[in-house]
A and B are shown apart, each in its own frame.
Chain A
Amino acid sequence: MERPLTQHIKKDGTPLSLKEYEATGGYEGLKKALKMTPAEVMNLVKDSKLRGRGGAGFPTGMKWSFVPMGEDAPTLKYIVANGDEMEPGTFKDRLLIEGNPHQLIEGMIISGFAIGASMSYIFLRWAYHEAARRVLVALDEAYRAGYLGKNILGSSYSVDMELHTSVGRYICGEETALLNALEGKRANPRNKPPFPQVSGLFGKPTIVNNVETYCNVPHILTKGAQWYMSISKSEGGGGTKLYGASGKVKRPAIWELPLGTTLGEIIEEYAGGMQDGYKLRGLLPGGASTDFLTPEHLNIKMDFEEVAKAGSRMGTGTIIVMDDKTCPVGMCLNLEQFFAQESCGWCTPCREGLPWTAKILMALEEGKGRPEDIGHLTFQTHYNAPGNTFCALAPGAMEPLQSALKYFREDFDEHINSHRCKYHN
């Protein structure tokens, strides 16, 4: 099985140096790209069916194609890597950045070449101190070797790259809020349109992609679009995916597997099934803002289409496992407290609705729930539905709750009827 993104990541946890990265074929993709035209690179990525790994699965080549190109296009354009990774239960980009920072840097340079960017930023969350140190070392190595800066490897292409460490807020991961943060402002999301591809950072065309998305690009360049599609088990997209599992499974970890590996394989084979004494009750397939699935769904493929058909989203691909001794209401409370705290406050349904939701769930957990609370919670899931809020944070916050009300309704009722949480006391 091919694992292009992680096969060279060292077991001892140290990062690949530039020399080590080059020895694995590193920066060959960039050399190849510089001999092509930007349009050819963009088409290759389109043909590979690479889809964004940040959660929404937008086709990457298509996203790039909205950037104005040619003589009349702005000379200043930006490439930004989204390394905010604050979605609870998500721990994949950290591994890629810490394990092989040059792979990310190379992917960003190639992507920058494809859209004609002259400046690039790695936007990294504050808490990733070790990742930040390693990125700074790798950037320095890349500049010295002529992979960054003026006239890269003797070509006519030039691009600079800087690290920006965030100061902590989940909303910074939303791409337009991220741009405001990079501009030194409060990270409220921006209206779309205009889309960042046309008017992004400082009003210039900007591409924001997830860290994992960029890490795929060098491999597509060296091995081609056909190869990239051939290593996937999914109809809808190419490549591998970093899948993870946390919670009470035997071997919580991250695995790089063909896109479209089934949920059952990930949980049973790779994570080793549940710890002794625990049963699988439900799971969030791709981070905190995805709908619950249940053991009935273990045969579905973890790709964008099949998870959507089952009523959830693949999201970040990192699974949060809920066992039978964990309270679904308590878990929703933990999630909604997070979302309420991280709401940026810009629009009313989210600013008012999320704290209210958390308060109701808290009452249920404390044995103070009332029968009408189910109706209030259901109302919130509609009130904060897509289209009613300014960005996707609030609808995302409602995904675990609406599905918990569907699958674990008896737990909500029991909290209300018996005036207590049976999991706690």
Chain B
Amino acid sequence: MAKEKVVSDEAKKEIEKLFHHLPHKQAACIDALKIVQKYNRWVSDQALEELAPILEMSPNEIDSVATFYNIIFRKPVGRHVIFLCNSVSCWIMGYEDIRKAIKEKLQIDFGMTTKDNRFTFLPIPCLGTCDHAPALIIDEDLYRDLKPAQLDEILAKYE
């Protein structure tokens, strides 16, 4: 029996639309990975194999691009991803306290996913909002001027 496809026809169509402005298909590689991730939440080995003929690249070539970038996930992530800024201004303003509080509440540190698959917790460089440090992003939502006491309310928004 053929394996079920992970790069859907919908995703494939979206990728093929990118070729229009580009001199060759490889140039769409990063955007193609983003599209796959948008639908699947991460990029599996099978996804690389299915992308290969679409982009006219080998799965290995695509993987060398995928692994270079911080935000392309080659492992499954939870339903929500918490990115806590660990760069210098947030360090001065006490991001470590936020990290500790998240660790206590969710029982996960950087690089880990909760058992119920609800959250993955990752560090991220400077979020460009250093005048409101410390800061974090959950999925696409930015939270600034963080205090550990606010975390319960913030985390409760994500099921």
Contact = CB atoms under 8 A, between A and B. Distances in A.
A86 B131 contact: no
A334 B137 CA distance: 20
A342 B92 contact: no
A288 B91 CA distance: 12
B18 to A, nearest CB: 9
B92 A127 contact: no
A247 B70 CA distance: 26
Contacts of A323: 92
Given A130-B142, A334-B87, A186 B125 contact: no
B131 A246 contact: yes
A86 B126 CA distance: 6
Interface string B4-33: 000000000000000001110011111101
A164 B30 CA distance: 10
B47 interface: no
Contacts of A126: 71
A98 to B, nearest CB: 10
A228 B60 CA distance: 51
Contacts of B124: 127, 168
B69 A167 contact: yes
Contacts of B29: 184-185
A248 B130 CA distance: 11
A252 B131 contact: yes
B133 A246 contact: yes
B65 A184 contact: yes
A91 B125 contact: no
Interface string B79-93: 000010011110111
B91 A246 contact: no
Most buried by B among A165, A184, A326: A184
Contacts of A186: 64-65, 68
B30 A85 contact: no
Given A127-B83, A162-B21, A186-B68, A318 B125 contact: no
Contacts of A326: 92
Contact of A168 (B21, B64, B69, B140): B69
A215 interface: no
A171 B92 CA distance: 24
A120 to B, nearest CB: 11
A88 B88 contact: yes
Contacts of B99: none
B5 to A, nearest CB: 22
Contact of B92 (A202, A253, A322): A322
B129 A94 contact: yes
A318 B128 CA distance: 11
Given A202-B23, A338-B88, A245 B131 contact: yes
A119 B27 CA distance: 15
A169 interface: yes
Nearest to A130: B142
Nearest to A76: B23
B138 to A, nearest CB: 11
A167 B72 contact: yes
Contacts of B132: 252
B130 A89 contact: yes
A94 B128 contact: yes
Given A130-B142, A184-B30, A247 B128 contact: no
A158 B68 CA distance: 35
25 contacts: A85-B128, A86-B128, A89-B126, A90-B126, A90-B128, A126-B71, A167-B33, A167-B70, A168-B124, A183-B26, A184-B30, A185-B26, A202-B27, A244-B131, A246-B93, A246-B131, A247-B92, A247-B93, A252-B131, A253-B131, A320-B89, A326-B92, A331-B91, A334-B86, A334-B91
Interface of B: 21-23, 26-31, 33-34, 64-65, 68-72, 83, 86-89, 91-93, 124-133, 137, 140, 142
Given A88-B125, A181-B30, A341-B125, 13 more contacts: A85-B128, A87-B126, A91-B129, A129-B142, A169-B68, A170-B125, A244-B131, A252-B131, A318-B130, A321-B92, A334-B87, A335-B88, A342-B125
